Amino acid sequence: MLAGLPADAWVLDLGSASGSFPESLTVGRVVRLDLDPVRMGPGRVIRGDAARLPFADGSFDAIVANHSLEHFVDLNTALAEVGRVVKPCGAIFVSVPDASTLTGRLYRWLAHGGGHVNAFVEPMGLADHVTRATGMPLRGMTVLHSGLSFLNRKNSGRIPLRLFLLGGGFEWTLQTATHLLRLVDSTAGTRLSVYGWAYYFGSVTDPELAEMSNVRVRCGSGHGDEWLRAQSLVRRFLLWRYYRCPGCRTMNLFLSEPVRTMNL
């Protein structure tokens, strides 16, 4: 969605903290907005409330709300504001956690709620809500898996005592746990490794709909197994296959599974 934008396009990274994606993904101009300025990084950053966006109507060609809707106290007004500031021919990306999943429950338990004030459990219910509020039709959606990166002790300065009940947050325990969860899901049809959903609305011509189940235990990013193979990143050690994240450089166990999409 971002790669196809022209250089004069404007992108809003909504509720972004220090940024939910690298600016190198687009030649367009990125504005990041968050309510807490302490969390914000360099670049075009604005302190603001999603329910009262300080922008004119139709200001943005694309809006990214990456794991932010669950934090908005006034969700209805925030979505109406998104619909106001996006161009009629624009696009919207939304990702949210599924509050009913194992990983979602673990996150809220470890982080004492994690600041989540909205619990999403019906994927199509949220999609309809966004469409009604913004006027943007749903173009596609996909399932998000978790790398349990929120349990990684290297991602937090202070290690909570309750983390030791979940293996201590060491990367080797997270690699083992995520691999086992994927295997159980693949064989038993469960959703133990699922974390949430991603949606594309509006003018998105080729949305990424394949599930990316190989998710990093440190940075939390994911890629499909075919992409990892194409980049020659998959290695083998005895009975195990593994790959090293091209971003954070952590070693992760590799799992190949049938691709399932949620086409409309």
pLDDT in tens, 137-193: 999 998 888 888 888 888 776 677 777 777 787 888 888 888 888 888 888 888 888
The pLDDT of residue 40: 57
Residue 41 is predicted with a pLDDT of: 60
Instruction: Kindly list the structural domains of the chain, giving each domain's residue range(s) and its CATH number in brackets, ordered by start.
Output: 10-253 (3.40.50.150)
Confidence band (pLDDT; 50, 70, 90) for 4?
A: confident
pLDDT tens, residue by residue, 89-145? 999 999 999 999 988 888 888 777 788 999 999 999 999 999 999 999 999 998 888
Pairwise pLDDT comparison (68 vs 36), residue with the higher score:
68
pLDDT for the residue 261: 45
pLDDT at 82: 97
Which DSSP string corresponds to the chain?
Answer: --TT--TT-EEEEET-TT-SS-GGG-SSEEEEEES-GGG--SSSEEE-BTTB--S-TT-EEEEEEES-GGG-SSHHHHHHHHHHHEEEEEEEEEEEE-TTSHHHHHHHHHTTTTT-------HHHHHHHHHHHH-PPEEEEEEEE---GGG-GGG-SS--GGGGGGTTT-HHHHHHHHHHHHHHHHHH---TTEEEEEEEEES-SS---S---EE-SSS--EE-HHHHHHTT-EEEETTEEEEE-TTT--EEE--------B--
- pLDDT tens-digit map of 81-90: 999 999 999 9
Residue 233 or residue 93, greater confidence: 93
pLDDT band at 10 (very low <50, low <70, confident <90, very high): very high
- Asked whether residue 263 carries a pLDDT value surpassing 50, the answer given is no
Quick one: what percent of the chain has pLDDT higher than 90? 39
pLDDT > 60? residue 31: yes
